[in-house]
Every structure is written in structure tokens, then in C-alpha cells.
Amino acid sequence: MATKHFYPTIDGLVDQALLGTAASHPGLALLRSEKVLYAKNHPRSQVSVICGGGSGHEPAHAGFVGEGMLAAAVCGDVFASPSAKQVQKGCMAVPSDNGYILIVTNYTGDMLHFGLACEKMKAEGYKVGVVKAADDVAVGRKNGGMVGRRGLAGTIILDKILGSMASADCSYDEILGLGTAVGKSLVTISAGLDHCHVPGRTTAYGAIETNTLEIGMGIHNEPGVRTVTPIPPVDDLIAELLNYLIDPNDADRAYVPFEKTDEVVVLMNNLGGLSTLELRAATQATISGLKKHHGITPSRVVAGTFMTSLNAPAFAITLLNVTYAARESSVEAATILKYFDAPTDALSWPKTASYSSEAAVEELKNGEAEKTFAQDITVEPATLERKLRKACENIIEIEPKLTEWDTEMGDGDCGETIKAGAVALLALLDSGLAKTGSILRVVDAMVDITEDHMGGTLGAVFGIFFAALMSALVAAASTSSSAPIEQVLATATAEALASLRTHTPAKEGDRTVMDVMIPFSAAFEGGNVDKAAKAAKEAAEGTMKLMPKLGRATYVGGLAEKKLLPPDPGAWGVHELIQGLAD
Amino acid sequence: MATKHFYPTIDGLVDQALLGTAASHPGLALLRSEKVLYAKNHPRSQVSVICGGGSGHEPAHAGFVGEGMLAAAVCGDVFASPSAKQVQKGCMAVPSDNGYILIVTNYTGDMLHFGLACEKMKAEGYKVGVVKAADDVAVGRKNGGMVGRRGLAGTIILDKILGSMASADCSYDEILGLGTAVGKSLVTISAGLDHCHVPGRTTAYGAIETNTLEIGMGIHNEPGVRTVTPIPPVDDLIAELLNYLIDPNDADRAYVPFEKTDEVVVLMNNLGGLSTLELRAATQATISGLKKHHGITPSRVVAGTFMTSLNAPAFAITLLNVTYAARESSVEAATILKYFDAPTDALSWPKTASYSSEAAVEELKNGEAEKTFAQDITVEPATLERKLRKACENIIEIEPKLTEWDTEMGDGDCGETIKAGAVALLALLDSGLAKTGSILRVVDAMVDITEDHMGGTLGAVFGIFFAALMSALVAAASTSSSAPIEQVLATATAEALASLRTHTPAKEGDRTVMDVMIPFSAAFEGGNVDKAAKAAKEAAEGTMKLMPKLGRATYVGGLAEKKLLPPDPGAWGVHELIQGLAD
């Protein structure tokens, strides 16, 4: 159980959170003394739809105030109902000429305090009604007895649909009618890895055991249906949760009937402490489970943080059977979905543009045509073939040394990585890569080799260099320059190195491949290959005097005491490549 | 450290999460093999703004794909950069005639793989540029050395502004230019209570000590600037965090200059495991701290879950100095804010309607005029006074008994609660409540007494009853019925009881006040007070034979063995009240 907090107690916490929420949305105003967050410009002509309850369930309900959702949220302290006076003041903050609808979660305190506000306002001549949120299926009929089911994340679907209706200028009776039907068509069940913890309170209710999860846990740490040990595979868990929600043969539940062809909304709720990564994966598992076990393809899926239990690492699945709500209300299913989809500027309702189709998932088509180059740079094919083979052989021969040096200074894979590139190039040469003498074709192949056969940091560095070299050579080929091939290569090398340096901070002296590439490129400027190769050799030997500044080698202890280190294996590999090409 | 997960390892987790995300938004499509989530209908005429990086930071970046934000998100595995090939396929999923801008977080792997994709695409003739996200200030200039600052939640502000520009048909050069300026104008620092935990991995990096927090923690559990023990008051913590972000005298930082009059955007990021309640309170603390210590009133505040470190209980503050970005780009500050404010249908960007003013906070004005009733129901004042006083005295006298019974069966406060109501009524009688003989005035006062002096479940139940009674009596007063007063009261009582029963599930036999109120109302039907009072007395005595079904009394052990319990104290109190009134 996560018992650490930035706030040591809940004293003043709700007040501060409401101020922070009001500051996050220009359309909101806070009636601070009453903990009422309301929409500043709520039109009197619209029915005021209001929700509320204890805090600790953020973003519920303050995060759902705004055009298209709630007119106001009335907040109690953590896990404590607001008073009837607060509820009344909340209503008065968003005056309506056409009535007030209170969405009330089915807990004793909320039902009585909102109920009291409702009756007081009725006594004063207002039109006020209550829509009860009681979507929990953890409590079966037998144990639920007369109190009935608790209000969970299904409440937020009521906030959305009823608020949307109010914005669409529906009447009080229409909203109350459909609200009651939607309320009857909601089911929710949770699965929790652990309890939440209230800042400053004891941990008397304890943590859930390491290898156990709890099904049906409430949003105030109320015990659930059962605990499961060990934690089951997610697909099994979801299958069980869906049974609690849907199974028509569960005599103690089956609160809402579901048919395969029903329009069903799925709401996945993070109870506060679950990673978004896991919530989103569980969303997919729920979609799959609904299809597999119940033949249901949901019409809408929303996933996010709606009604939390502070920091509880848990999620809940809510289903709204839109088709059933339509039957219970004589409002068409398509109309109910239209209310669900309508835009809102409430802070915490996720954006869901109007739905038109199922999730689109593509698999990548393979197969690319072999590249040809309109303008090419060519050399004598046999020479090209010989130089490339020599470079590869140099690298394969020196590989054991590179590996030895890298084992001392790094993670030991440098030699193998460079060798893998050389082996791949030899294989392509065997397939006739150099047979046309095209430099562009070879450089293009090198880009793929670095990515497909080398990988890691070194592969990426070489890949960027060869890709940028390719750009420079393609540009050079398209000009009608008569410069000798060595000069073209030298200029392109300098340009490619400049591009590479925009992607890596490594510079000369950092004991990386750049310690050879930079002096090589500089010496190559006039197109003299031998001079450049000599500079590369000296630079590779010079890495023996350099301390590492980047990457894993920086963590090797006792380096400062050593006068001479092995050469940098990457830099040495580049030097061997260059010697082969210059040969 | 929260090490429990629904998913035992990360195998397949990112794939499932992306499927779940795609299913949650009708405008998204998934190129599954490449972990690319993209906007289905991205117009070719717009620049394609693309972001990505390792997973484990959800909703970043898949949650920010959509009209007005990213064209595509390219996702690696948990905490691992995607490959250059994935990045290229991501670009190809959202083809553009006007170029591609890659927003890249400044980590070695991301910079190299996105850099490689960039160079490869350039070699193929595409226009591609990189905007680097490097907003972390935890790493100072000395230690940051050449790698520089890491990309944190400021990345999402880049996603928003650059994506917004693309939707507004800005050119490649405009987006790259402003993107670079915005990148230079961002600062972020985090405060963490604990590390995150990757499903299936070891906990080798360990938990942060119970009474310690870490400042500047990275989003992959990288160590921060310093740990603080004990956990400081939030306001002190925020003051320190703001200094890291802003202090112009911090020679090792001061990455972005801030002036009091600058337009500043505040983004509060939940790293995944913090309760929304605490995040929102910390948002307010940040707003206050900015004003108090730096004289800055933010132009925009957004708070939510943007770029997580899986389930880390931590938050980060990001500031964008819009004025500075304007200076660095020659785009006006108002224009930059316009891009920031523009609507988007990306799933996880919070809704923020266009800003027009500061957060509105009201304090409630006190003082209501004394109520008068157009039509009243009156009786002889002296009789009314006498009956009410007698009822109060009855209750005060029996209070010790009620307390005794409730101590045995409940939490012991029932007697005191009822007595408090009686005492308050006596005080009002002393002030002349009954002097006009107005029944409405007395019932109206009873509603306030139940709320202001009683409270709790019992106060709410009485409050609802009296408020509903008020409604019924007001309605009766407005008719010109000539029915005797007893009959009017009897009818109103029945109506009020019916209303009360819509707010509480309690029925006869549940051992509550309803055990007296229901038979009393039934017996009162014809307007015979004595008969009704007798029924109330018998019913109160009858509660001795009832087992509790609701509330705390249900938890008292060994009840089933007892033949006779004390009477229900609430029910008995009602009976005493009725006897007083009937007297």
C-alpha cells in the first residue's frame, strides 16, 4: 500500500485541490466556502445537472463540470458527503428556470444530504429531482439487501449523458426520465491490487497480500466479493469480471440484461494508482473478452481516470447497455449515444470525436522495389569490389582485438557489432552489390546494413552517417560537376559528418568513433585518400590516451590512474575500414 | 515502491495498450507491427508532426495523436527507443506534401534512432527536421556536460504547439522555427516519493526511504538532484522546485530567463501514481509559489497525467516562458498562446476552453431575509407554544435513556443528537417562534434545526421529513380547503413520509425511526391525534423485538441470541416528540 504523500494529512487538501482545479479551466468558478465548483456561464434556460459527494475520488466530480456535462459539483471532505446546505448553495450557484437534477451516488450520507437539499428546495418552490447512481455489482442482491448497490464510475456516464441533455435544452422531465433509465442500465466491477491510503490516517485496514488481488473492492476500501491468490492472468481476471457484470445465470446479480446485438458503452476507470500503460492494455483485454465470451462488440470505449479511490492501484469496468436504457425510456439508442458523444469542455472527460467505425488496425505490407538512381556516381566495378572486400576482411580479422578492448572498457559487443556489418556487406557483394560500380547503391546498402545487422548506438551512428552521405552524394550526382571522384567523396563526407553531429553531442577527444571520423574528414578535404587514411590511423592510435566521456565506459573504475588505455574499439574499427578502402 | 501489477511482465504489454488506445478513439489507427498510432485522416497538405520514444510514459505519446496535436506517435518497448525503421514507417503512415517534423526527447537512443530516420528520409528526398525536447533542469550545466538536458513533460507542450501549428496550415519552416524557440523556453523539474516499477523487472534500484523524497528524479528512475529527509511541507518543496526552474542566480542552471511580466504556461504532470487530489492541490501550491516568490501570475495552467514514469508517485512542474519563446522566434506571444489554446481531439490533452480571465473564486455572502408566507396555516399561539415545549421537555428528560440504549446498540450519539434539536427549538420558542401561531414558520425552523444542530444520519432523516412536510403544508395552504387542521396535518404527514421514503431504503421492521413514523402516519390518516399518538407509543415499544438491519448496529455481535433488545432510541425519541405534541 502506497502510504507516502506530499500532503501529510487531508487538512485543507480539498480546498487547495479545488482552487487548483478552478485555476486550470477558465470556464470554472469556485464557491470556496461551500466547496462548490461551477460553470461560470451556465444558462438559466438549461436544467442544472449537479453531482457531488465525498472527495478523494478526483477527477470526480469537479473535473466533470463544464458545458455539456455538469453545471456544478458539490464536494465533501475526503470520503465524507457534503451537507445539504452545500448542495443547496451549489444549486443556487447555477440558477435554472427549468429545474435541478441531482445525480447522487447511493451511499447513505450522500442519499440523505442530497435528499434533504432536494426536499428543502422543493419546499421553497423549486423543481428538483434525484437520479440515483448505483452501478456496483460487487454487492449481490442477498447481501445488498435494502441499501442496494453503491455508486461507482457509472456515475460519470450519468454526468455525461444528463449534462449533454441539459446542454441540448432537454426538459427536466426528459432528463429525469432518461437519467433514471440509464441509471438502471449501468453495471460496474473493480479489481484491485491494493487499498488506497488516506494521508494522515492509520493503515488499520492493511495492505492486500503481495500475491493477491481483490475483486469488487469499493472506492473507500470497502471489501469486495472475493480475493484471488495468486494474481491470475489478466484474460482470466477480465473473464471473471465480465461474468459478474453480464452473466444472466447469476441469480444474485444479472442486474442488467445483455444481448449480443446490444449497443454497449465500455468505460475503463483507473482508480488512481495504476499505470496508464496497464489500464490501456486492460482496456484491450476487456474488448477482447466481451467479444470472446459474450459476443458483444462495444459501440464506444472510453478509458481514463474518472472516479478514483485516491491512489489505489486498481481498475474498474463499467458497462452501459444503451439498448436496454432505450427500452426502459423510449428514447432511441442512437439518441442516447448522440448525448454520450456530444462535445463537452469539462476538464477530465477524454476527447472522443464522434464515432464512425471500429478501431483501425493495419499490418504492414512487405516488399519494396529495388532502388534505382536517376543520376549515379560510378567507379570501376572491380576496384570497388576489391576495396570493399578488403575493408570487410580487415574488420573481420581485427574483431577479436576489438572485442578484447571493449570487454575491458565497455560491454564487449563492439567488435561483434562491427563484424556483423562487414559480414553482411560481404554477403551483398557475393550477390553482386558492386557489379555496376554504383557508389550510391553501396552507400544505400550500408544504411540498411547498419540498421538490420548492427543496431545499437554504433549502428545508429553509422546509419546516420551513411544516410547523410547518401543525401550528399545524391545531391552531388544531380549536379553536372566535373570534379574528380575523390573530391566528390571528400565533400560529401564532410557534409555527412556535419549532419551526424546534429544528432550526437560526441566531439573529438570523447573517445568515440568521432575521434577518427573528424580528423579523417578534415584530412580528406582536398580529396587525397592516402593523407586521409594516414590521419585516420594516427587518430585511432591516439584514442589510447583518451579518457571516456560518454556511454558505459565512463562507469569503469580506476581509469584516472592508467597512463595508457586500449584504443577505442569503435574508432579502431573505422580506421580499419578506411585502410581497406584506401588500399 | 508499488511492485504489484496486473501484467506480470512487459511481454506484449505495449502492443495490447496500443490496441486499447486505438479502440478508444475513432480517429486513430494503429500500424500494429511498427507500434505506430496515427491519425486516420491526416491531410497531406499539413506538415506531419510526429513524436515518439520508449513506452512506459503513457499517455505520452499515443494519447496526444489527433487533429490539433500529433499526426503520429512512434512507440518503442518499455523504456526503449523505437528503431529508425519504425520512425520512418510512422512518417509514411501520415504522408505529407509539406514535410515532417520529429519531436525527439533528448536521450541517446531516441536522438540516434530518430536522427537516423531523419537522415534516411532526407536521402530519399523528403523534407524532415528534428525539434529536440530537453526541458529537464535537474541536470545542471556542469554534470550535464555534452549530453545536455533530458526531455520530460515539456515535450507535451511541444506536441501541442507544433501540432496546433500544423493544423493551422503553418509551413515546415514556421513550425521548425517556433518549435526550436519553444524547446529553448521550457524548464521542468520533478519531485518523487518513490521510484516506478517495471512489471517483471527486479527491484534492484530500490525504494526511496519512507520519510524521504527525491528532487529531479528522471522518468526512468534516473537519480535526481538530491533527496530530502524528512519530506518537507509542500509549500517549501514547491519553493525549492521553482528555484531550480527560475532562479537567475543559479549559475549551473538559469536555462530560461523569467521576468515578472512574462506570459508563462504552467503544466503540472502526474508521473503516474499520485492521487489526482494531491496533484490538484500541488497545482494550487505552484500557482501560489510562483506569485509569492517570483511575482509571476501564470497565463495558463494545465494539470493532469501527461508523461508518466509508469506508476511513480511523483509530480513535475513544467514552465514555458511564452514571452521568451516569442523573443527567440519573432512570433508574437499572443500567437503562441493561440496555438496552445486551440482545440484538439487528442485523447489525453485536457480540455481548456480559451482563457479569458483569472480563476474566479467567490466567498459566500451571508444574511438571508426572514421568511414570510403568503398563505399560512395558523393555530392558537399559546397552544402551539405549549405543545412544542412539552415535546422538547419530553425529549430532554428521556435523553439519558436514549443515550444508554444507543451506547449498547450504536455509537451512542443518538440521545445527544435528538436533545440538541429540542434545546435549539426551545431557544427559538424563547425568541418568539410560536408567537404568531404559524405552523409553517415552526416547520421551516425545524428544517434548519435538524441541519444546523443535529446533523448526521438522524438529522438528515428528520430534515428531509420536515422539508417535505413544509412542501406539503405550503401546497395545502395555497388551496382554499376548509378541512380541519388535524386533517391537513395528517395528509401532509403522509405525503412527507412518502417523500422521505424515496431517499432512504428503511422500512418498517428495520429498527429505525421509520418503525414509529410509518404506523403513526397510518393511524393519523383520519386526523385523529390521540389514535395516532397511541399507535406511535406501541410502535416504539415494539422496536424492542426488532433486529437491526441498517447502520452501525448491524455490526454488534451476539444479537441473534437476545430475546429482547432496548428500544430503538431514534424511534423512541420520535414517540416522545409525538406524545408532547398530542398532549
d(CA B270, CA B318): 11
Stretch B116-124: mean pLDDT:
93
d(CA A393, CA A399): 10
Report chain B residues whose CB lies below 8 A from the CB of A220: none
Per-residue pLDDT of B140-184, as tens digits, reads: 887 766 667 899 999 999 999 999 999 999 999 999 999 999 999
Using alpha carbons, select from B186, B173, B166, B152 the residue that is nearest to residue B42: B166
DSSP-based three-state secondary structure for A255: coil
Sign of CA dihedral B392, B397, B403, B409: negative
Could you tell me if A320 and A133 are in contact, meaning their C-beta atoms sit under 8 angstroms apart?
A: no
Q: How confident is the model at residue A222 (pLDDT cuts 50, 70, 90)?
A: confident
Q: Which helix (H) or strand (E) holds B92?
A: helix B84-93
A30 and B451 within 8 Å at the Cβ level: the answer is no
d(CA B459, CA A557): 72
- Would you state the pLDDT for residue B148? 75
Partner-chain residue, chosen from B78, B113, B284, that has the shortest CB–CB distance to A19: B284
Q: How confident is the model at residue B224 (pLDDT cuts 50, 70, 90)?
A: confident
Active site residue B220: yes
Sign of CA dihedral A201, A204, A210, A214: negative
A31 - beta bridge partners? A36, B362
DSSP-based three-state secondary structure for B20: helix
Buried b (16+ CB within 10 A) or exposed e, A330-364: ebebeebbebbbbbbbbbbbbbbbeeeeebeeeee
Stretch A490-506: mean pLDDT:
93
Report chain B residues whose CB lies below 8 A from the CB of A304: 348
- Would you state the pLDDT for residue B354? 56
Torsion angles phi and psi, residue A48, rounded to 5: -90, 115
Q: Which domains are seen in chain B, by residue range?
A: 13-198+209-357 (3.40.50.10440), 381-582 (1.25.40.340)
- The single residue listed with the C-alpha cell 523528403 is B126
Per-residue pLDDT of A525-577, as tens digits, reads: 989 999 999 999 999 999 998 887 765 555 455 555 666 789 999 999 999 99
| A582 has pLDDT over 50 | yes
Q: How confident is the model at residue A201 (pLDDT cuts 50, 70, 90)?
A: confident
Stretch A436-441: mean pLDDT:
94
CB hemisphere CA count around B327 (13 angstroms): 13
Cell representation of residue B146:
555534452
Percentage of the residues of chain B whose pLDDT score is greater than 90 = 78
Using alpha carbons, select from A313, A293, A307 the residue that is nearest to residue A244: A293
Per-residue pLDDT of A34-88, as tens digits, reads: 999 999 999 999 999 999 999 999 999 999 999 999 999 999 999 999 999 999 9
Using alpha carbons, select from B146, B152, B138 the residue that is nearest to residue B53: B152
Angle, vertex CA A247, rays to CA A241 and CA A253, nearest 5: 85
Bridge pairing between strands A28-31 and B360-362: parallel
Q: Check A61, A113, A197, A220 and give the catalytic one.
A: A220
- Would you state the pLDDT for residue B356? 46
Torsion angles phi and psi, residue A547, rounded to 5: -85, 145
Question: What letter does residue A438 receive in the DSSP assignment?
Answer: B
Question: What letter does residue B82 receive in the DSSP assignment?
Answer: P
- Would you state the pLDDT for residue A357? 44
- Chain A nearest-CA distance from B128, in A, is 12
Choice among A288-297, A367-376, B122-131 with the minimum mean pLDDT: A367-376
B353 and A464 within 8 Å at the Cβ level: the answer is no
In this predicted model, which residue has the larger pLDDT, B355 or A431?
A431
Cell representation of residue A557:
573504475
Average pLDDT over chain B reads 91
Q: Which helix (H) or strand (E) holds B304?
A: strand B300-304
Choice among A358-362, B347-351, B510-514 with the minimum mean pLDDT: A358-362
Question: Chain A residue with minimal CA distance to B237?
Answer: A6
Question: Chain A residue with minimal CA distance to B89?
Answer: A364
Percentage of the residues of chain A whose pLDDT score is greater than 90 = 78
Bridge pairing between strands A28-31 and A300-304: unpaired
Q: How confident is the model at residue A148 (pLDDT cuts 50, 70, 90)?
A: confident
Cell representation of residue A288:
477482447
Partner-chain residue, chosen from A275, A361, A455, that has the shortest CB–CB distance to B32: A361
Stretch B541-546: mean pLDDT:
91
A549 and B145 within 8 Å at the Cβ level: the answer is yes
Amino acid B233 reads P
**In the A/B pair of chains, how many CB contacts fall below 8 A?**
441
CA dihedral B5, B9, B11, B17 (to 10 degrees): 10
Report how far apart, in Å, the C-alpha atoms of B388 and of each of A94, A554, A578, B212, B391 are: 37, 88, 107, 61, 5
Indicate the length of chain B as a whole number. 583
Q: How confident is the model at residue B341 (pLDDT cuts 50, 70, 90)?
A: very high
Put residue A83 in one of left, alpha, beta given phi > 0 → left and psi -120 to 50 → alpha.
beta
Stretch B203-212: mean pLDDT:
82
Torsion angles phi and psi, residue A412, rounded to 5: 80, 0
Residues with Cβ within 8 Å of B250's Cβ and at least 6 positions away in sequence, in order, are: B140, B243, B244
- Would you state the pLDDT for residue A561? 62
Residues with Cβ within 8 Å of B279's Cβ and at least 6 positions away in sequence, in order, are: A20, B268, B270, B303, B304, B315
- Would you state the pLDDT for residue B134? 95
| A16 has pLDDT over 80 | yes
Q: How confident is the model at residue A232 (pLDDT cuts 50, 70, 90)?
A: very high
In this predicted model, which residue has the larger pLDDT, A252 or B240?
B240
Per-residue pLDDT of B345-391, as tens digits, reads: 999 999 775 554 456 777 666 554 556 777 889 999 999 999 999 99
Per-residue pLDDT of B63-107, as tens digits, reads: 999 999 999 999 999 999 999 999 999 999 999 999 999 999 999
CA dihedral B142, B148, B153, B159 (to 10 degrees): 150
Could you tell me if A27 and A71 are in contact, meaning their C-beta atoms sit under 8 angstroms apart?
A: no
B146 and A84 within 8 Å at the Cβ level: the answer is no
Stretch B432-453: mean pLDDT:
92
Cell representation of residue B108:
541517446
In this predicted model, which residue has the larger pLDDT, A279 or B582?
A279
d(CA B52, CA B75): 5
Q: How confident is the model at residue A419 (pLDDT cuts 50, 70, 90)?
A: very high
Choice among A135-149, A551-565, B270-284 with the minimum mean pLDDT: A551-565
- Reading across the β-sheet that carries B186-192, which strands appear in turn? B226-228, B213-215, B186-192, B314-321, B264-270, B300-304
Q: Which helix (H) or strand (E) holds B320?
A: strand B314-321
In this predicted model, which residue has the larger pLDDT, A368 or A499?
A499
Mutation target to probe the A interface, by most A beta carbons within 10 A, among B14, B124, B215, B280 is B280
Stretch B9-34: mean pLDDT:
93
Q: How confident is the model at residue A196 (pLDDT cuts 50, 70, 90)?
A: very high
In this predicted model, which residue has the larger pLDDT, B534 or B370?
B534
Stretch A390-404: mean pLDDT:
94
A270 - beta bridge partners? A315
Angle, vertex CA B236, rays to CA B235 and CA B241, nearest 5: 95
- Write the ipTM: 0.88
Report chain B residues whose CB lies below 8 A from the CB of A302: 24
Could you tell me if A467 and A461 are in contact, meaning their C-beta atoms sit under 8 angstroms apart?
A: no
Bridge pairing between strands A48-55 and A314-321: unpaired
Indicate the length of chain A as a whole number. 583
Average pLDDT over chain A reads 91
Amino acid A360 reads A
CB hemisphere CA count around B476 (13 angstroms): 25
Question: What letter does residue B9 receive in the DSSP assignment?
Answer: S
Helices (H), A51-94: 84-93
Amino acid A474 reads V
Helices (H), A69-126: 84-93, 108-123
3-state helix/strand/coil string of B433-484: CCCCCEHHHHHHHHHHHHHHHHCHHHHHHHHHHHHHHHHHHHHHHHCCCCCC
B66 and A17 within 8 Å at the Cβ level: the answer is no
- Would you state the pLDDT for residue B539? 96
Bridge pairing between strands A314-321 and A360-362: unpaired
Q: Check B42, B197, B220, B294 and give the catalytic one.
A: B220
